[in-house]
Amino acid sequence: MTRAAERLVWAVETLGVRPDDRVLEIGCGHGVAVSLVCERLAGGSVLGIDRSATMVEMALRRNATHVAAGRAAFQVAALHEADLGEARFDLAFAIHVPVLLRGDPARELAVVRAHLAPGGRFALPFQQLDPASTEPTVERLAGVLEAGGLTVVERHVAELASGRAGCVVARPG
């Protein structure tokens, strides 16, 4: 099993990845969550995108075996600029991606909606390190998703050793 922070393990467990899912991670960073997702796949695949070429390079190195097996692929791009073609995903997720929390995330959420397969879901897991902080809350994220044309279908909250974690899951309209 991939060594990963408790919050990432919890987040991927909460996503409910199925063996044949086609998964999109927005803001894949070092590729740790991609590794955890790949461990749950048998026939499915995951595409990790990140606007940082350095992060994608690290994710490629970390997941070289998964890439070689066809379970993982990566792309350097912001979500609204990604070349997703006609791809449809059963699950898309973003772990603490600031563009979805600031300003008007409508552009990014429109891309997500356009690329979710029928019955697909979009999840926003997060960790709130300081309960008194202004970090995102489940209700705030639910509001962002609903304003972006998605219907919230699940809310999760957990107390981890490293702080409170949450996840909001939504489906198209």
Number of domains in the chain: 1
Which tens digits make up the pLDDT trace of 111-155?
999 999 999 999 999 876 556 665 567 888 888 899 999 999 999
What token pair was written down for 87? 């791809």
The verdict on residue 147 lying in a domain is yes
The verdict on residue 80 lying in a domain is yes
- Domain harbouring 93, CATH code: 3.40.50.150
Rounded Cα–Cα distance for residues 135 and 40 (Å): 29
Which tens digits make up the pLDDT trace of 26-65?
999 999 999 999 999 999 999 999 999 999 999 999 999 9
The verdict on residue 118 lying in a domain is yes
CB distance 14 to 167 below 8 Å: yes
Rounded Cα–Cα distance for residues 152 and 149 (Å): 10
Which pTM was predicted?
Answer: 0.92
What token pair was written down for 106? 């409508």
The verdict on residue 58 lying in a domain is yes
The verdict on residue 34 lying in a domain is yes
100 pLDDT higher than 90: no
The verdict on residue 60 lying in a domain is yes
Q: Which residues contact 153 (CB under 8 A, 6 or more apart)?
A: 121, 169, 170, 171
Structure-token match 């991939």, residue found: 2
The verdict on residue 1 lying in a domain is no
Burial 111-129 (b: 16+ CB within 10 A, else e): bbbebbeeebbbbbbbbbe
- Structural domain for 36, as ranges: 6-172
